[in-house]
Amino acid sequence: MKYLHTMIRIKNIDESLNFYCKLLGLKEIKRRESEKGRFTLIFLAAENSTEDSGLLELTYNWDPEEYKGGRNFGHLAYRVKNIYETCDHLMKNGITINRPPRDGHMAFIKSPDNISIEILQEGDPLEIKEPWSSMRNIGNW
């Protein structure tokens, strides 16, 4: 398993970049905008981060939202060699898969402290298959 990033939601891109980049010294290494999803993702790296691990993901949702109950903190993210095997192992050990890997690429679970954890398939998504493809979301993540 490889640690990828921590995601937090932000209300103002300029203020956040000033804080994280100018004041803390992080560097913006990539940005993705989604017209369909109405969000912007900005990935920041510290000196010891790589292009795909140890990053801070700033998520700016284009539609205003008041973040309550820790919703501004998004999730931890890990990449695994086989998402189906990982999720099967977790389920067999009593962990609820909140967002099953229906797409062969992404799943979400929660820690005992209710922290969302994103699990991503290493490389290309796996072939879509049952029981994953028909599993429904449970709760939130």
Catalytic residues: 118
Q: Is the dihedral of CA 88, 106, 138, 71 positive or negative?
A: positive
Beta bridge pairs of residue 78: 3, 119
Q: Distance (Å, rounded) from C-alpha 16 to C-alpha 13?
A: 5
Residues in the chain: 141
**What's 95-118 look like in SS3?**
CCCCECCCCCCEEEEECCCCCEEE
